[in-house]
Amino acid sequence: METAWSDEELAFQGEVRAFLDEALTPELRAVGQNMTSVYADPKVSLAWQRILHARGWVAPAWPVEYGGCGWSAARRAIFATELSAAGAPTLSPMGLGMCGPVLIGHGTAAQKARFLPRMLSGEDFWCQGYSEPGSGSDLASLRMSARADGDDLICNGHKIWTTHANAANWIFCLVRTSDEAIRQRGITFILIDMTTRGVEVKPIISLSGEHIQNEVFFTDVRVPRANVVGAVGEGWTVAKYLMQFERGGGSSAPGFKTRLARIRAMTAGLEGFSARLADAAIAIDALEAVELRVMASLSAGEAPGAESSMLKTVGTELSQHLTELALEAAGAYGAAFQPHVVHAGGATPGFIPPNDGEAVGPPAAWTAAPKYFNDRAGSIYAGTNEIQRNIMAKAILGL
């Protein structure tokens, strides 16, 4: 197996580094280095997305004909590594990483022409309407309804844990268009304009203090039937396709390496950390090898398949382990609540920063506690890790 970059790939690496040196402002770097959520604040995320879009690098995995880069697995890995090393903030995945691939794979020509360019530019900012108060990991039990009325569907229901619904102007939803003996049938995948009358968003404040999650209520919301992706009643097939991209197909390992380096710097000279950090480094390298293999499959036009469940499980549990190591390394400094010096995924309602704006402890310790609390959800969102193990047992082991 060839593990060294080719001359062409090394030249591309140099091109990426030169671009990041010029395009990443100190403010953007500060956000990327001090993020406490998997999501950057929408204002920052969109500012960085516009810069990448102007360079033509906003969608590395998308085919060229839809405005993407069409890069090989190697180029995508190099790009992800350099972004992390440079301290770039993350982009919101709901449009570019989830709904976009679904429209490319299942959307009509009209839907692709309408939505994909605005998704790339950031003119449309998306959120995901899957979970409901009684339907989380058991998503097939969802009850949000959509009844036909001429050329429209009338939607009524309640979605929850909807990331950045307070900032989004579009949401992709799973709704029930009929009741069937098999619950996975009768579900439809639909795109809804968040400015439509009858859509109401209410905030949920996280353990880490910030406003990222929301409840979304739909009361007689009229949606054109043209916004249905795939066939009416067959949204479960579309949703499964999307969840493969939500759970796997990206690059977590480069970010984990950056986080591990910060922990290593914090623990220099402390006893008992070396072996544990070495174990974490080995786990990250193993994850990276699988991510590269999945990237190669995606580059060849394949979907991630059941490996996406493995990547989601290993990735979120490894991320949680890193937050535990960081919190332990931060020691007493981890107890300080100081959202004014970190960059959360949203505002922190009710927090009044100190007049001098100063922080307690070394910079590497600032993010330890809020990142720890935010990451508790990692093994729950996108389908709990228990569900992912069931998927792997069935699809891979045949159990």
180 is catalytic: no
Q: Which member of 82, 132, 210, 246 is catalytic?
A: 246
Torsion of CA 201, 207, 210, 212, to 10 degrees: -40
Three-state DSSP class for 383? coil
Closest Cα partner for 161 from 207, 213, 125, 209? 213
Beta bridge partners of 189: 174, 229
213 vs 160: CA distance, rounded Å: 8
Q: Which amino acid is at 189?
A: F
Sign of CA dihedral 354, 360, 364, 370: negative
Q: Which amino acid is at 312?
A: K
Pairing mode of beta strands 170-176, 126-129: parallel
Torsion of CA 322, 326, 329, 332, to 10 degrees: -140
88 vs 358: CA distance, rounded Å: 24
321 vs 324: CA distance, rounded Å: 5
Which positions are annotated as active-site residues? Answer: 246
